[in-house]
C-alpha cells in the first residue's frame, strides 16, 4: 500500500446519504479530508446525519441528473478526488419503473464524468461504484474482471452502462478512473427494509418471521460496508496509469444462499427458533452471483478486514441501538417530553 495522506485533500462524494457513502465520508473526515457531498434529498435517518458527520462537510444541493450542479461543485470546490456512489440502488424499484433509475444511474454517471473531463487539470482520481450486477447472468462463476459486462434487466443494465461509460472516459480522455465492483453490501445505516439483511434483522428484533422474496436458494456475495469504504479509498490511493480505466472486484469470497445468510443472522441474534417465511416471488433477479477478488489482492494488496460474522455482529449492534433510540423517543413523545 502506498503511503497516502488524506489530510486537506479536497474530495467530492455523490451518494453520501446512502449506506456506503455515509461510512466513506465518516472515514474521510476522520482522516482529515475536506469533504464536499452532493445532497438531493435530506433523510434525517441517514447515518451521515445521525452520526453528526453532516456537520463536518460542505453540502452542495443538487441532483445527478443536473449537469450544472455537478460542474459547479467540482469547479467551485476545486475537487481533487471524486467518489461516485450516487445511484438508485434497489433492484425491485428499477424493475417496477425503470426510467427514473436509467436517468439517475446512467445520465448521472456521464454528467459527472463530463464535469471531471472539463476540469481534468484539478481532478486527480475518480472512483466509480459499479456492482457485480454489471456482469449480468453467467454460467461461469465466480466473476473475474476479464468477463463481459452483460446486464439484461433494468438495474443490471444501469450498472453495465455505468461501468462502460467510466471505461470510455478513462480510455478516450485519459481520465484517472478506477471502478469498484462489489456484491451485496451490508452494514449499519441501511434502511431499505426490502433488502435481505436489514429486513431480516428488523423482523428478528420484532420477534417476527422474516420474509424471503425468493425461494431462499439464490446465491450472493455479502461484504461489510466498512470493507467497501476502505476498498474505495484503496483504489484512490493506488491511482496510477497502471490501474486507470480498470475494474476491480471486491469480495470476501464466501458466497451464501439467502437461507444460509438468514440462519447466520439468526445465530448471531440467538433467534434460531424463528423460521423465515419463503414467498418464492422474486422476479428480474439473477439466480447466482459471486466474485473473485484475486486481482485486488495481487495488484492493490486489498483483502477484507471483517469476516461476514464479524460484520453481522457490528450490523446487529447498530440496529439494536437504532430501534432502542426510536423506542425511547416514542416514549418521551407519549409523555410530552422532548
Given a contact cutoff of 8 angstroms between Cβ atoms, the answer to whether 67 and 42 are in contact is no
220: cell is 450472493
Fold of 10-191+222-253+290-305: Rossmann fold (3.40.50)
- Residue 330 confidence (pLDDT) above 60: no
- Buried-exposed string 5-29: b where 16+ CB fall within 10 A, e elsewhere: ebeebbbbbbbbbbbbbbbbbbbbb
**pLDDT for res 59:** 96
- Residue 283 confidence (pLDDT) above 80: no
pTM passes above 0.85: yes
8-state DSSP, 103: I
- 335 vs 303: which has the higher pLDDT: 303
**pLDDT for res 44:** 81
- Residue 272 confidence (pLDDT) above 90: yes
Q: Which residues are tagged catalytic?
A: 155
Q: What is the pLDDT of residues 198-242, one digit of tens each?
A: 999 999 999 999 999 999 999 999 999 999 999 999 999 999 878
**pLDDT for res 329:** 59
User: Could you state, in order of their start, the residue ranges of all structural domains in the chain?
Assistant: 10-191+222-253+290-305
Amino acid at each position: 500500500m502506498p503511503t497516502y495522506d488524506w489530510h486537506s485533500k479536497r474530495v467530492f462524494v455523490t451518494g453520501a446519504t446512502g449506506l456506503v457513502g455515509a461510512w466513506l465520508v465518516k472515514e474521510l473526515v476522520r482522516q482529515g479530508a475536506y469533504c464536499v457531498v452532493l445532497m438531493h434529498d435530506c433523510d434525517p435517518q441517514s447515518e451521515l446525519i445521525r452520526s453528526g458527520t453532516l456537520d463536518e462537510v460542505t453540502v452542495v444541493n443538487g441532483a445527478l441528473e443536473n449537469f450544472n450542479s455537478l460542474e459547479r461543485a467540482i469547479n467551485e470546490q476545486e475537487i481533487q478526488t471524486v467518489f461516485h456512489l450516487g445511484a438508485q440502488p434497489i433492484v425491485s424499484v428499477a424493475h417496477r419503473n425503470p426510467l427514473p433509475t436509467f436517468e439517475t444511474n446512467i445520465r448521472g454517471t456521464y454528467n459527472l464524468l463530463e464535469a471531471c473531463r472539463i476540469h481534468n487539470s484539478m481532478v486527480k482520481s475518480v472512483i466509480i461504484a459499479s456492482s457485480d450486477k454489471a456482469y449480468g447472468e453467467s454460467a461461469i462463476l465466480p466473476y473475474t474482471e476479464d468477463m463481459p459486462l452483460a446486464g439484461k434487466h433494468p438495474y443490471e443494465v444501469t450498472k453495465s452502462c455505468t461501468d462502460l461509460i467510466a471505461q470510455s472516459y478513462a480510455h478516450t480522455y485519459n481520465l484517472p478512473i478506477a471502478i469498484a465492483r462489489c456484491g451485496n453490501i451490508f452494514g449499519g445505516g441501511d434502511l431499505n427494509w426490502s433488502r435481505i439483511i436489514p429486513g431480516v434483522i428488523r423482523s428478528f428484533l420484532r420477534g417476527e418471521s422474516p420474509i424471503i422474496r425468493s425461494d431462499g436458494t439464490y446465491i450472493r456475495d455479502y461484504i461489510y460496508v466498512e470493507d467497501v469504504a476502505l476498498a474505495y479509498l484503496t483504489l484512490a490511493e493506488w491511482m496510477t496509469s497502471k490501474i486507470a480505466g480498470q475494474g476491480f472486484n471486491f469480495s470476501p469470497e464466501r458466497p451464501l444462499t439467502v437461507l444460509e445468510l438468514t440462519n447466520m443472522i439468526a445465530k448471531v441474534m440467538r433467534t434460531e427458533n424463528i423460521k423465515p417465511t419463503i414467498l418464492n416471488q422474486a422476479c428480474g433477479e439473477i439466480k447466482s452471483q459471486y466474485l473473485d477478488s484475486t486481482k485486488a489482492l495481487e495488484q492493490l494488496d486489498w483483502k477484507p478486514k471483517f469476516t461476514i460474522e464479524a460484520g453481522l455482529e457490528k450490523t446487529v449492534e447498530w440496529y439494536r441501538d437504532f430501534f432502542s433510540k426510536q423506542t425511547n423517543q416514542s416514549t418521551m413523545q407519549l409523555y410530552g417530553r422532548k
